[in-house]
Chains A and B, each alone.
Chain A
Amino acid sequence: MRVTVNGADHTLTCDGGRRLSRVLREDLGLTGTKIGCDAGDCGACTVLMDGRQVCACLVPAAHADGTAITTVEGLAEEDGRLSALQRAFHRHGAAQCGICTPGMLIAAHDLLTRELHPSVRQVQDALGGVLCRCTGYQKIVEAVLDVTSNAPDPALPDSGAAVGARVARLDGTDKLNGRDLYGDDQRPADALWLRIVRSPHAFAHFELGDSEAWTRATPGVAAVLTAADIPGANSFGIYPTLKDQPVLAEGFVRYRGEAVAIVAFETRIAGETTDLASFPVAWTAHDAVVGIDAGLHADAPRLHDDSPGNVLIRGRVACGDVDTALASAAHVISGDFRTGFVEHAYIEPESGWARRAGDRVELRVSTQTPYMDRDEVAHVLGLDQERVRVIPSAVGGGFGGKLDQSVQLPLAVAAWVLNRPVAMLYTRPESMAATTKRHPSRISAKLGIDAEGVLQALSFHGDFDTGAYASWGPTVAGRVPVHAPGPYRLPHVTATSAAVYTNGPPSGAFRGFGVPQAAIATEMLMDQAADRVGLDRLEFRLRNALRAGDRTATGQVIEASVGLAACLEQLKPHWQRYLDEAATANRTSGPLRTGVGIGCMWYGCGNTALANPSIMRLGLRADGRLTLYNGAVDIGQGTYTIMAQIAADALGAPLDRVTQVFGDTDRTADAGKTSASRQTFVSGKASELAGTDLRTQVLRHTNAGEDAELVFEDGGVFVIEAGRRRAIDLSALPANEEGDVMTGEGTFDPPTQPLDADGQGVPYATYAFAAQIALVRVDTELGTVTVEKMVAAHDVGRAVNPTLVEGQIHGGIAQGLGLALMEEYLPGRTENLHDYLIPTFGDMPQIECLLIEDPEPLGPYGAKGIGEPALVPTAPAILGAIRHATGVVCRQVPVLPHRLRAWIKAGDAEAAE
């Protein structure tokens, strides 16, 4: 076949029915066209074919014969500079992880060639076939609308002024021209292609059949590996004492999707054309334990020997005397709430490759946690940690899902045992079935209020379905009771939790670690409480808001950076405007009802009462070049940019002097996981300390005083003191293995104190606070909900990069909206991106962000976290708005149309009685 790609003619021979996306990526090396689903659902593979956008995963190669294809690599100007469209994306922060960006750019390009000045609606219609899990779409729309302005690239801030500036992502260019290399974009040509045989049953015994015969009969199979081939321990898990999940199951599986064997194929094509259902396994399926009720049932089978009653772990926070306080409260509001499994649905499925290099093994994988990967691989291979190297690829979204092991362990085992490079990419259904989910919850809570509307007591219990294996279950069980009271003063609290084993997929880390589920319950009660005491819902929250100097339910006194009241104060005029708008809209009768809702949250940054240090290094070469050794993985949220901004300012160097070595376990120090909204706060502080440490060393070297100015230029480093400028001679200093003559190092571990049996202690060093309001329209006849607009007020301590903070808020709201209205993972039923729905362009409200900066004294330049806080208040705000519009208290999410319609009808029936 002959095809013109980005203006160049190619003649190719390949199977005519092969996906065009494969031909572009594998045969032509154009890996800018991404694979997210192979099913037309995500649009990451969008290319132009004869001037029209198509999904390259749905085009048979032969069909492209004689056509002209444009991929993301073909969008830049002829001289290689970014096009006006790409530059607009860059300025607006429209690419976060960047995995959807090629598809977005192509779809936008298609639109702009037809309509140079599109409306918002036209942009949404034209780009509506591409999913983004990071941005919430708003900045993408803004970028497309702003292409014709051709505004200049944002100037880099002056030396010392990087923190607080809207710096465009420093790793942005490669995300816009398709050059950034994700997990599936960099495999060596001779790598074996791995696939995994998985259980189709949630609970079963099995026996492997004659895999040798199968290997002989199946073309292209190089090897089959089973549990017996694992060199070290056949177990993994987040907690050192809780490694309860096998890499490959041994005779017994506990969830649908569990791995039982690894098949290595000689080529990727052989792997992708083999039906693994033919692999010989004899299954004996049992009745699965589905859901919390079943897991806790007296007759339930015990899923793990060490966990009687299937309770993995319990959490508890207690202070005051809840029973007495509830008994004497003027009002008591109570309720039960349920949430389901939620899938991370990052657009990049798990992927990467590995090779054995002598007595070491090296992995390049899409991960949020290279250091934990290193340790898990070492455990499974039976090697010292030093013999494992992990280099994160560009990460196409994580949200907690890439904090667990997925491809890492099969890659490492196969590379080690077979001594060949090996690569793999999960299919979308595999990614959904096999990897972790947000914990489903079953929560009962009771809130006591006095006659003046002052909160008195909370009694809270949440059961969390941790699925087949522990994963991050203990983290959820520990975090929830601490956060259950919400960001309010509550003198009497009993908050307990349990993580329950079932035959569901393992529940792990997902943006918020159980706090979003808890917030749904308590914020719904807050709304009802406000109504009961006759107070406006915002006013009621303000009256009870935590303030600096208050004591939390764990006995911690939060001295500073408690910005909830400021958030609420700033929201007030918007809230009133929304209420007025709703009142006006509701004057007309009809099926459409408008409602307004509010949600508040607090969120402890970092691990719960556990050490979680970060170490950062900043190196200086003799010629004045600076290198940040940054181990804080960027999963789209921007640590690559943020850490450099902070380190540069701390040192007093211009940002563009700082190059980076990123996330390589051999070359960077451990900056912990990208989780728990800890990177800006913890690793950011370490970056600041690394910068100041280096500055101190340089000044000491030249005997300059504290106030001297440092200048980093191409010619070297200069110091300006008392108006005099001197060159600093570094040439005599010995260089280390990286070539640096000086290295500033910063270590920060946020100060916490262990929690006692009643959860008393200091679980976190700082908390983020936020409040969001939403205006929704409910079609009461159909039960559908449209979130029209939202205002999000977030106390982030200090917005190190406001564009990135807004991006986190938009993206968090998108996921919160999904949690509230559409996302529900049902094993075996919603295992793809057309049955599992995440928000599209047309489902997002117009969002306004209010950034409140109540500085955290411990944080870098006052900053704390935003990643998870952005999501927590969204569902409560939307559910509150639905209740305002319809009177229905939503006790289960997602509020799917059929559920809401049934509740509305039940409510109408009640009213009629």
Chain B
Amino acid sequence: MAAYFQPRNLQDALSAMNDGRWTVLAGGTDHFPARVTHVPDESLLDVTAVPELRGISHSETGIRIGAATTWTDLVEAALPAACAGLTAAAREVGGIQIQNRGTIGGNVCNASPAADGIPALLSLDAQIELASLSGHRTLPLSDFVIGNRTTTARPDELLVALHLPATALTGQGAFVKLGARRYLVISIVMVAGTLDLADDGTIETARIAIGACSAVALRMTALEAALIGARPAEALERLDTSHFAGLSPIEDPRGDPAYRNDAALTLTRRCLARLAEAA
């Protein structure tokens, strides 16, 4: 019979990871749907009771979100305005049942192109903290999720936490999701953004990320550069289709590439309008 292990501390969890025989399980909301036609015999490592993976803490350097923090935890947490996009994304994941169980770490590790958390985290310059028996390492989210369902985690590494640096937490955030129905829907396209304004009211920093239009959600760096110095109300005028050149959407039952490119532009406009309004 398959084993089930729910370690109560990080050391035990990491030792288990070192065995290499465990399948990591957090909220299970991606795990079980992948096991509908049959449930394989596998040993499960439930990481949700490890204290280091739980909870949201604030410090001078920023915000630390334990990997096993649920969407509901995020919705209910008091977070700065820069995290408005992350909270909005949390509210849009599945239904309440999914939000009560699904974790942000699971969302990132599952690395789906349509993961709602990833663009929101990219727009907050999120850093990934991985741990193994050989130690901790931190890397930018964009260096962690590198392809459709592909991350750079080693088999013995556990995602411990996400760090949102203080520098990314001063502005305003927003998130816009497009799906073909109201609830329980996989995104066709989603856009997350944060804006920081300089003292003179012009845009100092913009971070815009688009999901479901490429194998991995992408920051729109050309657009971000173009927005610097603009007044929020003028931001829309700076938008140019060339800013979206990095997108390479695929065709699937939810949409074709032309539509996704088109919708990405529209959603970005709306995200910027929302940010301008709030800023």
The answer to whether the Cβ of A751 comes within 8 Å of any Cβ in the partner chain is no
* B interface footprint on A620-663 (CB within 8 Å = 1, 0 otherwise): 00000000000000000000000000000000000000000000
Residue of B nearest to A47 (CB): B97
Across the interface, do A55 and B96 meet the contact criterion of CB distance under 8 Å?
Answer: no
Across the interface, do A430 and B37 meet the contact criterion of CB distance under 8 Å?
Answer: yes
The answer to whether the Cβ of A822 comes within 8 Å of any Cβ in the partner chain is yes
Cβ-defined partner of A782 (8 Å) among B36, B100, B178? B178
Chain B residues with Cβ below 8 Å from A52 are: 72, 100
* B interface footprint on A42-77 (CB within 8 Å = 1, 0 otherwise): 010010010011110111101100000000000000
The answer to whether the Cβ of A839 comes within 8 Å of any Cβ in the partner chain is yes
Across the interface, do A55 and B181 meet the contact criterion of CB distance under 8 Å?
Answer: no
Across the interface, do B38 and A276 meet the contact criterion of CB distance under 8 Å?
Answer: yes
Chain A residues with Cβ below 8 Å from B31 are: 58
The answer to whether the Cβ of B245 comes within 8 Å of any Cβ in the partner chain is no
Across the interface, do A274 and B2 meet the contact criterion of CB distance under 8 Å?
Answer: no
Contact of A829 with B253 at beta-carbon distance under 8 Å, contacts A39-B36, A55-B97 already known: yes
Across the interface, do A427 and B184 meet the contact criterion of CB distance under 8 Å?
Answer: no
Q: How many A-B residue pairs have CB under 8 A?
A: 172
Which segment of B39-47, B156-164, B203-211 sits at the interface? B39-47
Across the interface, do A897 and B178 meet the contact criterion of CB distance under 8 Å?
Answer: yes
Chain B residues with Cβ below 8 Å from A781 are: 266
Across the interface, do B36 and A428 meet the contact criterion of CB distance under 8 Å?
Answer: yes
* A interface footprint on B151-183 (CB within 8 Å = 1, 0 otherwise): 000000000000000000000000000101111
Residue of A nearest to B28 (CB): A58
How far is A55 from B183 in the complex, measured between Cα atoms in Å?
15
The answer to whether the Cβ of B27 comes within 8 Å of any Cβ in the partner chain is yes
Across the interface, do A128 and B44 meet the contact criterion of CB distance under 8 Å?
Answer: no
- For chain B, residues 64 to 79, give those with C-beta under 8 angstroms from any C-beta of chain A: 72
Cβ-defined partner of A784 (8 Å) among B97, B178, B254? B178
Cβ-defined partner of B44 (8 Å) among A60, A276, A430, A834? A60
Chain B residues with Cβ below 8 Å from A840 are: 181-185
Across the interface, do B178 and A62 meet the contact criterion of CB distance under 8 Å?
Answer: no
* A interface footprint on B243-266 (CB within 8 Å = 1, 0 otherwise): 000000000111110111011001
How far is A908 from B207 in the complex, measured between Cα atoms in Å?
33
* A interface footprint on B115-133 (CB within 8 Å = 1, 0 otherwise): 0000000000000000000
The answer to whether the Cβ of A300 comes within 8 Å of any Cβ in the partner chain is no
How far is A292 from B6 in the complex, measured between Cα atoms in Å?
54
Across the interface, do A834 and B266 meet the contact criterion of CB distance under 8 Å?
Answer: no
Cβ-defined partner of B253 (8 Å) among A15, A273, A430, A830? A830
Across the interface, do A40 and B98 meet the contact criterion of CB distance under 8 Å?
Answer: yes
Chain B residues with Cβ below 8 Å from A62 are: 4, 6, 44, 46
* B interface footprint on A266-297 (CB within 8 Å = 1, 0 otherwise): 00000011111000000000000000000000
Contact of A843 with B182 at beta-carbon distance under 8 Å, contacts A276-B38, A824-B253, A898-B255 already known: yes
Chain B residues with Cβ below 8 Å from A822 are: 180-181
Chain B residues with Cβ below 8 Å from A272 are: 38-39
The answer to whether the Cβ of B213 comes within 8 Å of any Cβ in the partner chain is no
How far is A834 from B30 in the complex, measured between Cα atoms in Å?
12
Across the interface, do A60 and B263 meet the contact criterion of CB distance under 8 Å?
Answer: no
Cβ-defined partner of B180 (8 Å) among A275, A276, A841, A897? A897
Across the interface, do A126 and B96 meet the contact criterion of CB distance under 8 Å?
Answer: yes
B178 to chain A, nearest CB (A): 6
Chain B residues with Cβ below 8 Å from A107 are: 96-97
Across the interface, do B96 and A110 meet the contact criterion of CB distance under 8 Å?
Answer: yes
Cβ-defined partner of A43 (8 Å) among B97, B182, B262? B97
Chain A residues with Cβ below 8 Å from B6 are: 62-63
Interface size on B, residues (CB 8 A): 51
How far is A830 from B186 in the complex, measured between Cα atoms in Å?
13
The answer to whether the Cβ of B150 comes within 8 Å of any Cβ in the partner chain is no
Across the interface, do B2 and A128 meet the contact criterion of CB distance under 8 Å?
Answer: no
A197 to chain B, nearest CB (A): 12
The answer to whether the Cβ of A41 comes within 8 Å of any Cβ in the partner chain is yes
Most buried by A among B44, B188, B259: B259
Contact of A60 with B46 at beta-carbon distance under 8 Å, contacts A17-B4, A824-B253 already known: yes
Cβ-defined partner of B37 (8 Å) among A55, A60, A276? A276
How far is A479 from B54 in the complex, measured between Cα atoms in Å?
60
Chain B residues with Cβ below 8 Å from A276 are: 37-38
Residue of A nearest to B49 (CB): A63
The answer to whether the Cβ of B107 comes within 8 Å of any Cβ in the partner chain is no
* Residues of A in contact with B, size category: 35 or more
How far is A901 from B267 in the complex, measured between Cα atoms in Å?
14
Cβ-defined partner of B100 (8 Å) among A54, A131, A835? A54
How far is A835 from B253 in the complex, measured between Cα atoms in Å?
8
Residue of B nearest to A37 (CB): B36
Chain B residues with Cβ below 8 Å from A843 are: 181-182
How far is A678 from B181 in the complex, measured between Cα atoms in Å?
33
- For chain A, residues 809 to 845, give those with C-beta under 8 angstroms from any C-beta of chain B: 821-822, 824, 826, 829-830, 832, 834-835, 837, 839-843
Residue of A nearest to B183 (CB): A128
Across the interface, do B38 and A55 meet the contact criterion of CB distance under 8 Å?
Answer: no
- For chain A, residues 421 to 468, give those with C-beta under 8 angstroms from any C-beta of chain B: 427-430
A13 to chain B, nearest CB (A): 10
Across the interface, do A826 and B100 meet the contact criterion of CB distance under 8 Å?
Answer: no
Chain A residues with Cβ below 8 Å from B36 are: 37-39, 427-429, 832
Across the interface, do B180 and A837 meet the contact criterion of CB distance under 8 Å?
Answer: yes
How far is A429 from B184 in the complex, measured between Cα atoms in Å?
18
Chain A residues with Cβ below 8 Å from B2 are: 15-17
Across the interface, do B39 and A17 meet the contact criterion of CB distance under 8 Å?
Answer: yes
Contact of A837 with B181 at beta-carbon distance under 8 Å, contacts A60-B25, A273-B39 already known: yes
How far is A131 from B94 in the complex, measured between Cα atoms in Å?
12
Across the interface, do B97 and A129 meet the contact criterion of CB distance under 8 Å?
Answer: yes
Across the interface, do A896 and B101 meet the contact criterion of CB distance under 8 Å?
Answer: no
Across the interface, do A275 and B101 meet the contact criterion of CB distance under 8 Å?
Answer: no
Across the interface, do B29 and A128 meet the contact criterion of CB distance under 8 Å?
Answer: no
The answer to whether the Cβ of A238 comes within 8 Å of any Cβ in the partner chain is no
The answer to whether the Cβ of A125 comes within 8 Å of any Cβ in the partner chain is yes
Across the interface, do B33 and A39 meet the contact criterion of CB distance under 8 Å?
Answer: yes
How far is A194 from B59 in the complex, measured between Cα atoms in Å?
56
How far is A17 from B5 in the complex, measured between Cα atoms in Å?
10
Across the interface, do B101 and A54 meet the contact criterion of CB distance under 8 Å?
Answer: yes
B151 to chain A, nearest CB (A): 22
Chain B residues with Cβ below 8 Å from A38 are: 32-33, 36
Residue of B nearest to A785 (CB): B180
Across the interface, do A125 and B96 meet the contact criterion of CB distance under 8 Å?
Answer: yes
Chain B residues with Cβ below 8 Å from A537 are: none
How far is A607 from B37 in the complex, measured between Cα atoms in Å?
38
The answer to whether the Cβ of A902 comes within 8 Å of any Cβ in the partner chain is yes
The answer to whether the Cβ of B214 comes within 8 Å of any Cβ in the partner chain is no
The answer to whether the Cβ of A396 comes within 8 Å of any Cβ in the partner chain is no
The answer to whether the Cβ of B95 comes within 8 Å of any Cβ in the partner chain is yes
How far is A54 from B29 in the complex, measured between Cα atoms in Å?
10
B10 to chain A, nearest CB (A): 19
Q: Could you jot down 12 A-B contacts, CB within 8 Å?
A: A40-B32, A55-B97, A55-B101, A58-B31, A60-B46, A124-B182, A129-B183, A272-B38, A821-B180, A842-B181, A898-B260, A901-B262
**Further contacts, 17 of them, CB under 8 A, given A16-B2, A17-B42, A834-B33:** A16-B4, A19-B32, A58-B27, A58-B29, A58-B101, A63-B28, A124-B182, A125-B96, A272-B38, A273-B39, A275-B40, A428-B36, A832-B36, A835-B253, A840-B184, A896-B180, A896-B255
Q: Chain A: residues with CB nearer than 8 A to chain B? A: 15-19, 37-41, 43, 46, 49, 52-55, 57-60, 62-63, 107, 110, 124-126, 128-131, 272-276, 427-430, 781-784, 821-822, 824, 826, 829-830, 832, 834-835, 837, 839-843, 896-898, 901-902
